């Protein structure tokens, strides 16, 4: 079991709930009426925090979870300092902590931006774009994709001008990529080395890549993402804060991710 934030929220909900509920049962056994003025301090804290912790735990486990972009691997779509909401039920409902799926809803689609537990270290969350679905044949050659023998079109948008902490990406070539119907921006650094391969995606796995193609640690280097490692689908930027440069990016707040 991976002891992440959800695990500690779960434990906090149990502990505060047991203290508060146990105290009420004790009063009932003594035929006493609850009196806030004579309430023990530990019970007062448990009573105050229990509903808050429980609500946060349920919302974070079943509806939406916040996620912050720590690196440039998804530029230009996502910038360093973007704060996202991740839809936790997009690909099915899972029991929190043990991550066991109990209700099937949908599956990832090519082009989805997904958050997942890094297969090499499940305590770390990664965010990438789904490129290959189970059974797909993915070819990466000369920094261009071919999926199931169909070349993926890239239309040049010129030279990219980086902003904020992503200024180092200035000079990369900016492309609009049409990923079998899903259009999104990518960055290519023409002088950077690349990994070329042909890969058939195993059943129950997904091939993911960063939009910043030459600055992303993704499936090209460590393999595919098992379905059970999926956390959810990123869908909304609720805050963007580049604390080293421009501060709050008001123009990015409210952006819906596709």
Query: Considering all CA atoms of the chain, what is the largest pairwise distance in Å, rounded to the nearest integer?
Result: 79
Q: Is 144 a known active-site residue?
A: no
3-state per-residue secondary structure call for 163-202: CHHHHHHCCCEEEEEEECCEEEEEEECCCCCCCCEEEECC
Nearest to 231 by CA among 13, 6, 9: 6
Whether omega before 235 lies within 30 degrees of 0, making that bond cis, reads no
Q: Is 73 a known active-site residue?
A: yes
- Residues 6, 13, 73, 219: which is the catalytic one? 73
The residues, any chain, with a CB within 8 Å of residue 148's CB and separated by 6 or more, are 136, 137
- Residues 88, 128, 216, 219: which is the catalytic one? 128
- Are 115 and 232 contacting, i.e. CB atoms less than 8 angstroms apart? yes
In this structure, how many other beta carbons lie within 10 angstroms of the beta carbon of residue 91?
21
- Are 105 and 47 contacting, i.e. CB atoms less than 8 angstroms apart? no
Rounded CA-CA distance 90/21 in Å is 34
Give catalytic residue positions.
73, 128
């Amino acid at each position: 079991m991976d002891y992440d934030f959800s695990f500690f929220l779960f434990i906090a909900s149990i502990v505060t709930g047991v203290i508060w509920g146990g105290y009420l049962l004790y009063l009932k056994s003594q035929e006493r009426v609850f009196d806030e003025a004579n309430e023990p301090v530990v019970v007062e804290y448990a009573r105050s925090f229990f509903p808050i912790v429980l609500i946060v735990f349920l919302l974070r486990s079943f509806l939406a979870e916040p996620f912050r972009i720590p690196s440039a691997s998804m530029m230009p779509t996502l910038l360093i300092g973007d704060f996202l909401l991740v839809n936790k039920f997009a690909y099915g409902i899972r029991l929190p902590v043990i991550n066991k799926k109990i209700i099937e809803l949908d599956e990832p689609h090519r082009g989805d931006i997904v958050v997942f537990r890094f297969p090499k270290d499940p305590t770390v969350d990664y965010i990438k774009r789904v490129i290959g679905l189970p059974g797909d044949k993915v070819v990466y050659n000369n920094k261009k994709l071919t999926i199931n023998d169909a070349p993926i079109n890239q239309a040049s948008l010129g030279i990219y001008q980086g902003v904020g902490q992503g200024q180092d990406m200035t000079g990369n070539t900016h492309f609009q990529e049409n990923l079998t119907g899903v259009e999104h921006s990518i960055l290519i650094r023409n002088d950077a080395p690349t990994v070329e391969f042909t890969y058939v995606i195993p059943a129950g796995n997904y091939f993911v890549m960063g939009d910043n193609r030459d600055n992303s640690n993704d499936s090209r280097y460590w393999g595919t993402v098992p379905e059970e490692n999926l956390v959810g689908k990123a869908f909304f930027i609720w805050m963007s804060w580049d604390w080293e440069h421009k501060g709050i990016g008001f123009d990015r707040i409210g952006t819906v991710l596709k």
